[in-house]
Structure 1
Amino acid sequence: MSHILHRMLSKTYPTAAGGEGMVLRDRDGREHIDASGGAAVSCLGHGHPDVLAAMHAQIDKLAYAHTSFFTTDAAEELADHLIARAPAGMGSVYFCSSGSEAIEACLKLARHYFVEKGETRRVNFISRRQSYHGITLGALSVGGRMKDRAPFEQMLMQGHHISPCYEYRGRRPDETSDEYGLRVADELEAKILELGPETVCAFVAETVVGATLGAVPAAPGYFRRIREICDRHGVLLILDEVMSGMGRTGTLHACEQEGIAPDLMAIAKGLGGGYAPIGAMLASKRIVETVRQGSGVFPHSQTYVGHPLACATALAVQQVIERDDLLANVRRQGARLEQRLRERFGNHHHVGDIRGRGHFWGVEIVADRSTKTPFDPALKLNARIKQAAQERGLLIYPMGGTADGTAGDHVLLAPPFIIDAATVDTIVERLGDALDASLASARPA
């Protein structure tokens, strides 16, 4: 019996014993293609020799120094690297250990910025339903995945939510994609006016919605309108690129494809590629300069901020991605992945939508394709698909509640950036077999 408090207390988990490249191997010797990079984390796959060498070099030099006493070369060099490639206007980095922590830092700096400006009534954060921004209490408060919020609702700060930009289920038959995007973006302005612009601190959104909806990009023009609305009312724009950022969609930052820059941004998963726990907040020069000229203090700190080993690891990951031009491979093999998914599932009776960008794709499963009716949640179809895939040597990231927070199933694919064409084909083949087997097991005898 394990003494670990696992996320599913009734489940017995296999033990991961090793990994090379695209493959994870369990203690019994079974190999699994990591088609989701864990949770869209392992962008370089497993056991990359250059990253391991950088980790060894850093730990031989310095493992840890608290940031109340020192900065380190590792942290400074990573910050320089990130800011040189950051969206326009970004000037500072705050390092932490996870995506949830990065979101917490964004929320607190957004509030602190307005306190420094004397606009102390700005306490409200607006986000979207069917979003996920982390599991800590602040991140849960702004998140829109209601099943995660429910047990802790009375403990959370008040959250304000508008519709997601979810074209498959939200666009009306009489609308174009552009018209739909502008319509749901305008919900933000309506909510700001309802709350009072002088009370709104920030709007928080995933640039491409990750686990909750399954790799859903925004409709054309959506984020440009969002940026305009935020600017008009002096509201900060916080982009959550914890899952979709750092090359996952084919550009280093997903917002590059939207033609906008945020005021604050959270990154994590692909930053360190799973080799060490690390996340970061990127902050605009305007925000940081306001604090610098005011109190000069950001009242937020955690023990492992700027951890030297994590920073050296993340820098090595980012240098390998750039040196080997892996974002070009993301675009190239991402196009192949889209093509193969559409070939295999485009006419499947129970696949309602295929969407995504780069190495970030979602396949939404439905009971009735014509009506988009989801399967009964009691069937736990997403869990069946995950199990069937793992039995076939494939690791994927399915989720339930896609349609409305309760019903709906999708599969998320987020393979490492090193993938080749043959592995893309194998992933789609095994996923197809797993999906069909799961559907057959879900039907009444």
Structure 2
Amino acid sequence: MKHTIQYPEGNVLLRNLSKNYPIISHGKDVYLFDQSGKKYFDASGGALVCNLGHGNEELAHAVYEQMRKVAYVNGMQFTSSVMEEAASLLAAKAAPLGLNKVLLLASGSEAVEAAIKFARQLWVDRGFPDKYKLISRTPGYHGNTLYALSASGRPHYKKLYGPLISPVLSVTTPYGYRSPVVNSSVPEEILREYHALGAEYYARELEDLIAKEGAGSISAFIFETVSGSSTGAWVPPLAYFERITAICKKNNILLIADEVMCGAGRTGRFFAAEHFDLKPDIAVLGKGINAGLMPVAAVLVKESDVDTMKKTSGAYVHAQTYMQSPSMGATALAVLKYFDRHQVLAHAARVTPSWLNALQTEIAPLSMVGSVTGIGSMAGVEFVEDKSTKKPFPIAKKIAQRFVAHAQDQGLIVWPNYGQADGTNGDLIILGPSLQMTESQAQECVALLKHSIETFQR
């Protein structure tokens, strides 16, 4: 039996045309197994998707039972009891955010674009057709479809598609390790300076941009509540969202919280926004809301805003093929019920503090590690050429890509990012294991990561 595939073998259009791909046979909990029998610790849940582990039979059975009844109906013509129940449970989870209307779609990128379209239509229906511009942040990521990519603060991702990219305004992402307000390379001093000075710096930058462009032309400000792979799980500085919310309300600019990566329990709360008492106008979920069972993402909005559309346009002018399908509703419903039935967040709260602490004590001192940061079950490790100056490795060395391949050889799966330091250079990995990871598995994760970095450094 063949254990690997490499282009041009097979008929799958592989993402990397030079990589030799192991063929995965099955998964269980935090582990994946390939056809040769090799075991991998999936420390990133794929792309921070599998927040409830692999091979979860309870979830799979729930979705299967719905598919036996009816898997798909046109969301323009029908709804379903499973979709209605899923939306009700998700709206209950979103009560702290003040959002209670739910749209299910098939990917985070789709959901981001639907959210941006919702904001635009809302301004038209309110009588402000000149409000169309979008503000996003750099570095940042909102998806790989064309407008979601346009909104993403990743210049190296956009380069190939330049003529197709739409103009989007941008401000700086709060990113403590490389924040303009931070002068130190000492972890404790970085945090002190970042939280003391960061909110004011980023708020002024946003105010200056709005003044330059004119508030009357700006529809919304989109951001990752906790930045994922773009910065390595850096939380915003103290009072950041308080300042940002006040500025946007003053200027009639909607807030879109992209929680595709940081939502669905990843940070220790179901919505990362709950940590900051943030109440966005629109929120987006993905990845963890489907736990890897099938593609599902969600857009959450306010009933009062939908009422505005009902009184004017008469509809939310957006549709996609799999919108509100029963199988997607069953997936989201199964995940939401599982969270409550198994007290997933309470379990994660018992395990993740020691995991994050071990990352600081065991990983941060390593010679090529510049920064270790995290919240809940999400953590980032940034690699640098010089710890004292925070100098990144040159992009030509492909440190992140090479490390991910090396770690995989050691039986560890992590998620890479590059270019975050200056738009070209910079290497980091992000960790996002199952929220059901045990204490012993957390220790195994750190030990595997330490071994992988130490052997890579040699």
TM range (shorter): over 0.9
Q: 1:107 is aligned with what amino acid?
A: I
Tell me the equivalent position of 2:418. 400
- Give me the whole-angstrom Cα distance separating, in 1, the residues matched to 2:174 and 2:56: 37
For structure 2, which runs of at least 5 residues remain unmatched after alignment? 1-8, 185-192
User: Contact 1:137/1:156 (CA < 8 Å) preserved in 2?
Assistant: yes
Name the residue aligned to 2:134. 125
Q: Which residue of 2 aligns with 1:29?
A: 37
Matches within 5 A, 1:271-420: 271-420=289-438
Count of aligned pairs: 440
Q: Which of 170, 182, 188 matches 1:172?
A: 182
Q: Is the 8 A contact 1:374 1:403 kept in 2?
A: yes
Matched, 1:115 2:121: no
SS at match of 1:266: strand
**Partner of residue 148, structure 2:** 139
SS in 1 for 2:77: coil
TM-superposition CA deviations, 1:285-337 (whole Å, max 9, x none): 23212111111111111101112112102211111111111112222222111
Matched, 1:251 2:276: no
Query: Does 1:213 find its partner at 2:223?
Result: no
Q: CA deviation at 1:349?
A: 2.1
Q: Any gaps of 5 or more consecutive residues in structure 1?
A: 441-445
Distance across 1 between alignment mates of 2:183 and 2:449: 31
Residue deviations 1:257-296 (CA, integer Å, cap 9, x gap): 0111100011000001001110010012232121111111
1:184: Cα distance to partner?
1.0
- 2:229/2:380 contact within 8 Å kept: no
After superposition, the C-alpha distances for 1:105-138 in whole angstroms (9 at most, x for unaligned) are 0010000001111201111100111100000111
Deviates more, 1:101-110 or 1:320-329: 320-329
Distance 1:247 1:176 in 2: 25
Q: TM-score with structure 1 length normalisation?
A: 0.96
Q: How many percent identity over aligned positions?
A: 37
What is the distance in 2 between the residues matched to 1:27 and 1:346? 34
C-alpha separation between the residues in 2 aligned to 1:347 and 1:67?
53
1:2 aligns with 2:10: yes
In structure 2, the residue matched to 1:443 is none
1:433 equivalent in alignment to 2:433 = no
Aligned to 1:82: 90
Could you tell me whether the CA contact under 8 Å between 1:398 and 1:411 is conserved in 2?
yes
CA distance in structure 2 between the aligned counterparts of 1:176 and 1:398, rounded to whole angstroms? 24
Spell out the pairing of 1:144-155 with structure 2 (5 A cutoff). Answer: 144-155=153-164
Q: 1:100·1:139 contact (CA, 8 Å) conserved in 2?
A: yes
**Could you say what the CA RMSD is over the residues aligned between the two structures, in angstroms?**
1.3
AA at the equivalent of 1:200: I
Q: Look up the SS of the partner of 1:204 in the other structure.
A: strand
Q: Which moved more, 1:194-203 or 1:323-332?
A: 323-332
Shift of 1:425: 0.9
Matched letter for residue 135 of structure 2: I
Q: CA separation of 1:390/1:176 partners in 2, compared to 1, >3 Å: closer, same or farther? A: closer
SS of 2:229 mapped into structure 1: coil
Distance 1:178 1:258 in 2: 16
CA distance in 2, matches of 1:203, 1:49: 39
The corresponding residue for 2:77 is 69
Contact 1:130 1:144 in 2 (8 A): yes
* Aligned-residue offset at 1:153: 2.2
Within 5 A, what are the aligned runs for 1:180-191? 180-191=198-209
Quote how far apart the aligned CAs of 1:65 are. 0.8
Give the secondary-structure state (helix, strand or coil) at the position aligned to 2:120: helix
Name the amino acid aligned to 1:74: V
Aligned partner of residue 222 in structure 2, secondary structure: strand
Give the Å deviation of 1:176.
5.3
Instruction: Point out the more displaced range, 45-54 or 231-240.
Output: 45-54
Once residues 403 and 351 of structure 2 are traced to their aligned partners in structure 1, the CA distance between those partners, rounded to angstroms, is 24
Letter in 2 for 1:394: L
Letter in 2 for 1:297: A
Deviation at 1:31, TM superposition (A): 1.1
Looking at structure 2, the residues matched to 88 and 363 of structure 1 have their Cα atoms a distance apart, in angstroms, of 30
Q: Deviations over 1:146-170 (max 9, x none)?
A: 1111222222221111111111111
